[in-house]
Amino acid sequence: MLSPHLSRQPQSLRKGLSVLLFLFSVSLAIVAGTALPATATTPQLVCSSTRLKFGWVAVGTSESQLVVLTNTGSTPVALAGVAVVGAEFNTLGTGLPKSLAAGQTATVKVTFAPTAAGWVAGRLIFSSNATNPNLILPIRGTGVKKEPVSAAPASLSFGQVPVGTTAKLTANLKNNCLCAQTLSALQVVDGVFAVTTPQLPITLARGQTIAMTVTFTPTAPGPNGGSVMIDGPYVNVPLSGTGTATTAGGVLSVTPGSVNFGSVELGTTDTQTSSLTATGGPVTVTSAASSNGQFAISGVSLPVTVPAGQSISFGVVFAPKNAGAASASLSFASSSGTTKTVEALAGTATMPYITLSWSPSTSQVAGYNIYRSASSSGPFSRLNSTLDTSTSFVDNSVGVGATYYYATTAVNSNGQESSYSNLAQVNIP
């Protein structure tokens, strides 16, 4: 480039040298600029998620997730506010502006409320005086007419859980489509949360429901926000929980130590009341588990903290599914130690029975016959082997979930039998 320029405009040697020196000085400036790289600054304000993902959300509904901002530096941070880019996204109850001391956190609830079907993207911009004054959190989500697979509950909140202990909650995933849906894989945001069941991939038939179990094991005191994103139908289940400092000295006990339900008919349930008591300090009950699916806990939402010297009540439910004696151990995991608090359960499932009664015949009779059918049109089978001289009968050979039709006849001393009485219909739950 330099030679043609000098040949087109002959100038004095002195001028040519000045141009050469000028270009050379520019070249030196450029080289010098590239030889001194900028010093990287460690972000002081850190978000619990580097990219916030929402799943498929039905138009007209909303989904919310919790993000946690942490001041990882040694000086305070003045968190001024948050700007939202994207009309379908919103933040509520941020409590900003706010000052964060070193190590302190702030939580922000982010909501996605699609107004039309389709994929959308946005971002949050957190402004502060941190070393990274504009923290950007990308967001994305998809609006759909109908969610092919839904979760119930739609989100899981673990509440307060002592550090080092594990709380467990369950969400039921249901296929809402006419065709099968395959849950191919899952992604869990924030390592304090984990999914223990089910093992993917798995295919849900039309209307099928499967339980998803999520655990929360906080590693430090403070709030935590995360989610479980399930690939395939793209179901997102927001998660939240707060780690609390472990309190020593609290002991958890259950009263009574054992519960016997006695006889309970198949198809019915019986509930008895028990209580959990904390002594010597508060105790956080993180989860409860029954060794037999016929027994369950009700009336209390876990995790829950029992104050020192106080008790909370809960229900124990026996819902027999098989005839005969049954037993179980109901165990409670808590912050009181590694040993679980256990309540022994027992009960006997009996078959249901039906008691029939009728008005006596106006004619002289020797007795009555009792007939039963599974259909109102018959055929009917006689239940009694000999004439029944009373006006009542107990049928203890019925099954759960069945419907029966009963009729009686009157028989005189000559053995002559009347026609069927009116039909009595009985449905067994």
Say what the pTM is.
0.57
Tokens at residue 10, please?
A: 């002959």
| pLDDT at residue 22, rounded to an integer | 34
| pLDDT at residue 338, rounded to an integer | 60
Cα separation values, 235 from 57, 90, 116, 222, Å: 8, 20, 18, 27
Cα separation values, 121 from 59, 200, 232, Å: 15, 28, 20
Distance CA 318, CA 294 (A): 6
| pLDDT at residue 179, rounded to an integer | 93
| pLDDT at residue 362, rounded to an integer | 84
| pLDDT at residue 15, rounded to an integer | 40
Distance CA 350, CA 194 (A): 40
| pLDDT at residue 354, rounded to an integer | 87
Tokens at residue 250, please?
A: 């609290």
Distance CA 257, CA 253 (A): 9
Tokens at residue 273, please?
A: 């009341």
Q: Compute the C-alpha angle 119/122/124, nearest 5°.
A: 150
Consecutive H or E run containing 30: helix 13-34
**137: exposed, middle or buried (C-beta count within 10 Å: 0-12, 13-18, 19+)?**
buried
| pLDDT at residue 249, rounded to an integer | 62
- Asked if 44 and 78 touch (Cβ cutoff 8 Å), the reply is no
pLDDT tens for each residue of 179-216: 999 999 999 998 899 999 999 999 999 999 999 999 99
- Asked if 270 and 261 touch (Cβ cutoff 8 Å), the reply is yes
Cα separation values, 231 from 140, 201, 240, 425, 426, Å: 15, 9, 21, 49, 47
- The count of other CB atoms within 10 Å of the CB of residue 288 is 23
Q: Which ranges of the chain have pLDDT less than 70?
A: 1-40, 246-249, 337-338
Q: Compute the C-alpha angle 6/7/11, nearest 5°.
A: 55
Nearest to 347 by CA among 425, 258, 427: 258
